[in-house]
Structure 1
């Protein structure tokens, strides 16, 4: 059962997803909730640098400046990357810098302690991995001063739960940041999302649907509206859909629930399926009452390669990118040849060139690399 303060933090996270200026308040609340002294929330995206951000609480500017030093970044990576190597997205790492202070002068540990940990007066850290791929990285971490206890497994569980919501918020942020910078009307922003978006009001009625959702309603057999403008799905999914919307609206006063969640809808007879992410939505000042936001995608929607990244990093030519696009959608080399109207031998040459440029040694390795550079919405 979640505490009242944890539910408060969850609500604040979704508010901040739509209004990034609120992240400072979120960090302050999480620091208080976890008995910490400082916190940092940072994300880097090589494909879209304007997405990059760093939010901190109680970390002195001089400490942040020291951390930006290239030597310190390398030390940090060398010392702490192994902790993340075997971690999946959403996993946590608990660590302490206290032993670094007694290491020999000149060692990586001692330098990191002197330049980062000591000026910030922190010794213990609990962090959750939010995003990691070939081109992006995001992490949320809280820290405790030397005189406080190290983080416990229970602290790690709390951070892991909050991490789910922060990951969702990060996705919303990435969808909205460019248009928000233009200070567009909130509905104009949602109209430009490249995935389906629905807003549901406190009466469970559809309040808004963008163009993509309207098209989904026209052709889909698993999601519709009833006569009262409530979302309607197949009988086997209806109760769960209602529960998730209710939790996203914070309708349940018992607090014994998580806020929102994901739901897959499918109709085997019609070969139709959708994925829904159902989340709280209360960040827009013009919206007078709390709403739930639902992101809708087709499970068979195409993967979109980050072509610019592949061109810049691996110098792939246009035809090589075309081969990669077809390959990632499951076509065999013979089918790719037929689709591109070229010979099988030509496809083999393209694949050989792609292997050389990407340093892949097999089709499996190439598929893994390409899956790391696709642009899509992940339901968390």
Structure 2
């Protein structure tokens, strides 16, 4: 059962979710409730930096500035996020930070020297609220070395209020989305079947749509570094930088006078260790996208897609044009990827006889009489993004 003080804090949390200037008062109450000296509530997302925030109580300004200036927010996420993730979301953990002074890990040493020492933090207890490859949210309270470590009952109390801090993050993201002046087109970009990244000349990422976020979470070939800059494996990173630089020059010229005969942007392929083309990238000035979107000469667009998506059929168009069923569309897609009947039957979990029956129906609906004719028709219904040199 919640205590009166816990209920009061929870009520204040939702007030602060709508009125962020109240967070200082909330954290003050959390510090008193947990008998701590300092506290921090932060959300960090490299792919959506406009949503980031950090609220603290009793932490010196030097510690806060160092946390952001030396990219220790990134270090904090990488080190403590991974550790706390082993406990799971909304589960408290604690650590004695004095061990950081003796570690061989340079990141931990920097975190200890620039953040913990100025703030006199020794005992740290935190609850992970959000976690992903490029994001995390955390509520943490701290005690100095002269104090005792947190007891199990105190950690359980922290967990009880932490779940409400997690909901506050969710409310914060929704509000930011509604307030964001680019929300109209970001909703559109998130629905595209191609990755879209808006980047600056130094490769700093300003926006990432959902498809690109999925790609970044699935591969180590393309990453966002601690400075929030796009980075891909060599030798492709050097090629990308040259392509970006040349595109920015075109972007500047485009803003002064449009050169219709001049080729704008460029494309490149990334190959996996097996020498198979894994990703396709196109870099383009934003000016050529749409006058209704961003018009910023300091930013360009990078389009990203998986090689396997080059033959993806439009299910919507096939259904509306030929009245194909979901199963028939699935078979058509398998034919785009692999035209061997035995393999397709195996993937669909049906017999060769059943597959041939399906093909007869598909031929009838498409108005064709052979696999070759069917393939020629299906090619017109590919909805993958075309990366043009």
Q: TM-score normalised to the size of structure 1?
A: 0.49
> Higher relative CO (CA 8 A, sep ≥ 6), structure 1 or 2?
1
* Max Rg structure: 2
